[in-house]
Amino acid sequence: MVSTIKRSYSLDEYRAIEEKAEGRSEYRDGEIVPMPGGTLKHSRISGNIFAFLKFLLRDAQFEPINSDLRLWIPEYKRGVYPDVMVFDGEPQLNAERSDEVLNPTLIVEVLSPSTADYDRLSKFRMYRSISSFREYLLVEQDELFVERYSKQAQGWLLSEFNGLESSISFDSLSIKLPMAEIYRGVVFE
């Protein structure tokens, strides 16, 4: 029997590795977890959402950011890369870092088979520790289906959307995102 030793990395070690890495990895309180590569559908969907939000919010106080920027979740000591984040005003950087932010209002995750459960459960629980966080969008890439969670006084409210004629209203942004724009150019088998 062969045993393996699991190494724990300091946050500084992780950041140094991530700055030079060709691929992305999440930091999970000492553990470095490589993120799987994306698919064409995943890239089209996340790109569509980012581009449409960028256009709709161009003259507003809100700023969408793509997956190049790491979200730091202090309470859980996690560094993650959501597909799209939207900030109300200027993104708050983590200390003097230019590659980590703390305060998204909206987070979008395009679901992959390997990460869907993690995005729905563990990540959502961690995201809820962020005081500025108000809305969460989970987008299926293999079917026309989107889940939107919005923070209410009594907890988080789930709304589900399917079909290209639907539009998703964002309470925190005062805009609507048509399902047809999310899935523009995506072909389902």
pLDDT in tens, 140-169: 999 999 999 999 999 999 999 999 999 999
**pLDDT for res 37:** 65
Work out the average pLDDT over 70-81. Answer: 95
The answer to whether residues 157 and 148 touch, using CB atoms and an 8 Å cutoff, is no
Per 3-state DSSP, the chain is made up of helix, strand and coil in percentages (nearest 5) of: 25, 35, 45
Provide the residue type at 33 as one letter: V
Give the model's confidence band at 31: pLDDT under 50 very low, under 70 low, under 90 confident, else very high.
confident
Q: How many CB atoms lie within 10 A of CB 3?
A: 4
> What confidence score (pLDDT) does residue 5 get?
59
Q: How far is CA 70 from CA 18, 44, 57, 80, in A?
A: 10, 20, 21, 6
Contact 79, 14 (CB under 8 A): yes
Residue 160: both structure tokens together: 């589900």
Select from 3.90.1570.10, 3.40.50.11540, 3.40.50.300, 3.40.190.10 the CATH code of 37-182.
3.90.1570.10
* 93, 101 contact by CB (below 8 A): yes
Q: Which residue has the higher pLDDT, 69 or 24?
A: 69
CA atoms of 136 and 155, how far apart (whole Å): 13
